[in-house]
Structure 1
Amino acid sequence: MSYVADSSASDGEFNRDTDYITTRITADGRDGYPVEAGRYRLVVARACPWANRTIIVRRLLGLEDALSIGFCGPTHDERSWTFDLDPDAVDPVLGIHYLRDAYDKRVPDYPKGVTVPAIVEVETGQVVTNDFAQITLDFSTEWSAHHREGAPQLYPEPLRDEIDEVAQRIYTEVNNGVYRCGFAGSQRAYERAYDRLFTALDWLEDRLADQRYLVGDTITEADVRLFTTLARFDPVYHGHFKCNRSKLSEMPALWAYARDLFQTPGFGDTTDFVQIKQHYYIVHSDINPTGVVPKGPDLSNWLSPHGREALGGRPFGDGTAPGPTREGERVPEAHSAG
């Protein structure tokens, strides 16, 4: 997510800039960056849905020892995400306040949006990649030597075509669809985006009515990609982005599915509702010029029984749940549901 990587077309339709730094970190190092424990730092912001995916996948696969993590604060200015949560507002490993510094080291006067997630090479201080869609796939496929024992198969080879197909529709129509509503520059563009979004949500509601997960009988990359948007739907997108045909809590299958994932280790314990609301309502001053952050909604219902076990499925397949969240990486209790 970025402060300038988004723009609106002349007809008022929101268009996302998808020109990322696509260098990959791979097992064979073919792009010059081999997978190596301790060499890189994953920089995220809990507020950002695209970054939240990487936090979830890193935790599910058990990459904590191989790949350190740095957390930016929930807000930023026109220049960059910043490490406001750290002592003296400086990342303790990279030694920088502005994430832009790591982008400028890779590309002097980096001309595009400073986005999270980003993976930074610690020794050089340079961003290696900010290609969020590829990062999590590579965690599953290229970083396998560093997976924990019992790590789930989030991108199993026999299901990759279906996962890719479902994930692509989720990206265009849901993940980006809420932004297309929120940043529409005309009534016509907004209504068109609104209709596209809820057509896709209705499709997902039908798909999840009789199957526990999106693809196969275990959690996959597709579920991770949908979850981070669903978690933000009622607290932010329903009101702030005018996605208000219905709340998530009024879509029975999707709501039960979202609670099922939220209550699964790796999902709810990486979701910070306070930072999520702070980011959208403070940073998007063109939409919310007062900067007032809403007090609601009540989040305790995220912990209510979901009943999805009756559909079968095994969350982690032949693997196991991740252990407790590491010290220093935990969401404050007051920032979660309950």
Structure 2
Amino acid sequence: MSISTMMDVENTNHRISPEIRRLERMKENRLTDRFKTVKSFDLNLLTTFEAVFIHRSGTKAADALGITPSAVSQALGRLRIHFNDALFLRDGKALAPTTVAIGIHEGLEDAYDNLIAKLQNISFDAVPTRLVVHCAAYVSMFTLNVMRRVLDEIAPECEIVHTMSHNSITEIEESLIFRKADIIFDMHSHVSHSRVSQQISSETPVVICRRQHPRIDDTLRLEQIPEEKFIYIDSESAVLLSNRIKVNSMMRENRVCRFISPSLLTNISMVESSDMLAIVPERFYEKMKNSFEVKALDVDFAIPSQPVYLIYNKSALNNQFFATLVKKMTDIFQEELRIEPVL
């Protein structure tokens, strides 16, 4: 090192105030203490804990993490010793979290999400070449085109990869926590401190049957309901299940269900080829009514509408590209779908 360089370093060090040096020493001491606290704790155990918490199953957690069930079992054993609690108890075929486990999950949720986000953002400063979107097939019909339009404007080389949830809340929770998807569109809001969940659409349901139904003309009357059988959409969403109960109450009957599927396309095919009835989104019916021998029925009761949400991890907004993408998509949804912004 040259004499001039040594003088520059000395002068630079001299300019650091005693207060700054004191703060740096405090930070160093604090980090050293934390290192001592966690030196005997494998932080990978937290990932295993979150996977078991989401899936309520050691086997499913192992599949999600790409490890063996034995490794999950060993990790849970170490966690139980560390926290001095059973953490998960057998409840039929599932593992139910104890109050301690629930507290750990809630306490770690934001910190764990931020840690993963920071790790991703280390290599995510530039415009990405690939974005993963997780949603059901029907929802993708009116959401992915909006995303594609925005990307055509701000990142025309970016690839969109669509993965399907099959209406599974568990799959979507896993995608959010383990960053398997950048954006999710779902009919369940997935409320969390670490996530943004904003409504982008409101789907109006209609009752449909085949055009040549032997008992129903253009109107479904309450007295006809006990004679008919219905098709249900399969979903873990509490909102959808709640709406199903409301519809039963409005119909004054518990509908007889003969077929359940997560696919609206499958359901409308079954309606066309049988005497069963189904409730589908009006937008879906309008797109498909000329391709299937089905018709929408008038009813004398109001079926609850179904919201659709745009969901992403809050920390992703730290990336300017992602923040711009979300803002532009939200503007289009508000304009085209006439969803008023929440104030």
Larger Rg: 2
Structure with bigger helix share is 2
Specify which structure has the higher proportion of strand. 2
Do the two structures share a fold, i.e. TM-score over 0.5? no
Pick the TM interval, shorter chain: under 0.3
